[in-house]
Amino acid sequence: MKIAVLPGDGIGPEIVAQAVNVLQRLAQDGLKVEMEQAPIGGAGYDAAGDPLPESTLALAKASDAVLLGAVGGPQYDTLPRDKRPERGLLRIRKEMNLFANLRPALLYPELASASTLRPEVVAGLDLMIVRELTGDVYFGQPRGIEVRGGERVGFNTMLYAESEVRRVAHVAFGIAMKRGKKLCSVEKANVLECSELWKEVMIEVAKGYPEVALSHMYVDNAAMQLVRNPKQFDVIVTGNLFGDILSDEASMLTGSIGMLASASLDANNKGLYEPIHGSAPDIAGKNVANPLATILSVAMMLRYTLNQEAVAQRIERAVKKVLVQGLRTADIYTDGTQKVSCSEMGDAVVAAL
Ligand code: IPM
Ligand code: MG
């Protein structure tokens, strides 16, 4: 199995290095993996003048799975829009047709006190957000900034074809079938035609999954319900923009965005795996970042693309073990626990494996 390793920017290289150590440890036990690194984001721009160099995309397409760190940094913010690091990430998602983004929000009981919400609100939380990733206002045309009537206007197009809604709906229903059989579709159908169509297609697809209880919620209400009573949700399916926002919100229910992994899958379960947090330029190079989200992304890779459920669980147990041991990076540190660096955390997971 070939894995394209794209560390990216900021803390990306530090956290990816720990995930690579985990893969290498598993290789000692017989997991057949071959890894090759390539630059993306600002690193891609620095190396080849392009946030998604052609050779990086070719490597990603030729691999079974992609492991990505994070992209972005203040030094790239003034580049022309199509050279910015984020564009590299958006392009690789689109080019590889990774339309289904799975973002689990799981609260480890050991971290309940790290959440800003009361423990009884979040204890036992286990929800999955399925975010559509290659459509919506992120990619809709036309878009731009132009002069109209003597002033500048900025515009984007929120657009979904029914086929795009249908395929992500099938992924979400399939996941709901394997979990609690509850699916909540989040949109803004009281205002947006795009959401009206989204909702209609969800209802159509639901007919093929009679065991799944489908509900509908407007995104503003969903944002509120996520902090009021997050445990009411099992699986949430939503569009690209709403999913971007709600998945950041859901991550904080669990105490730290530094704990959450993600998978972005195409129609054949080929995928790109990345932590949901960003490149955190403020702490880059200091060896204090939390590598667990990236390590847990490797677990998702083994589960969804490489079909190695047992090995995925082995990684998840190792992560759980280091938390039980009381090891914490700065972002999840609380009184009475032991603060460790990024590499110490990675080493501890390897030792636990
Ligand atoms: C995410 C990020 C990206 C997005 C950015 C970096 C383009 O916020 O993966 O959630 O908006 O999708
Ligand atoms: Mg985001």
Q: Which amino acid is at 283?
A: I
> Is pLDDT larger for residue 17 or for residue 248?
17
Q: State the closest ligand 1 atom to the C-alpha of 262, by its place in the atom list counted from 1.
A: 9
Give the position, in ligand 1's atom list, of the atom nearest the Cα of 101: 9
Q: Which residues line ligand 1 (CB under 6 A)?
A: 86, 89-90, 244
Q: What is the pLDDT of residues 309-322, one digit of tens each?
A: 999 999 999 999 99
Cα distances from 105 to residues 122, 127, 186, 226, 255, in angstroms, run 11, 5, 16, 11, 10
In this structure, the residue with its CA closest to atom 11 of ligand 1 is 244
DSSP 291-320: -HHHHHHHHHHHHHTS--HHHHHHHHHHHH
User: Which residues are annotated as catalytic?
Assistant: 138, 188, 220, 244, 248
Proximal ligand: closest to the CA of 138: 1
* 57-108 residue pLDDT tens: 999 999 999 999 999 999 999 999 999 999 999 999 999 999 999 999 999 8
How far, in Å, CA of 103 to CA of 245, rounded?
12
Pairing of strands 182-187, 235-238: parallel
pTM value is 0.93
Structural domains in the chain plus CATH codes:
1-99+266-353 (3.40.718.10), 107-126+142-256 (3.40.718.10)
Asked if residues 259 and 322 have their Cβ atoms less than 8 Å apart, the reply is no
Q: How does the average pLDDT of the chain come out, rounded?
A: 96
Let me know: does 38 contact 55? Beta carbons within 8 Å. Answer: yes
What is the tens place of the pLDDT at every residue in 153-167?
Answer: 999 999 999 999 999
User: Which ligand lies nearest to the CA atom of residue 70 in the structure?
Assistant: 1
Does residue 255 have a pLDDT over 80? no
Give me the pLDDT at residue 38, please.
Answer: 98
Tell me the pLDDT band of 237, cut-offs 50, 70 and 90.
very high
Q: What is the DSSP string of 235-264?
A: EEEE-HHHHHHHHHHHHHHTS-GGG-EEEE
pLDDT tens-place string over residues 105-152: 999 888 888 888 998 899 899 999 999 999 999 999 999 999 999 999
Amino acid letter for position 246: L
SS3 116: coil
Closest CA to 103 of 254, 228, 280, 316: 254
C-alpha 245 – ligand 2 centre gap (Å): 6
Q: What is the DSSP string of 325-336?
A: TTEE-GGG--TT
Ligand 2 mean position to 69 CA, how many Å?
Answer: 14
Ligand 2 mean position, distance from CA 304 (Å):
21
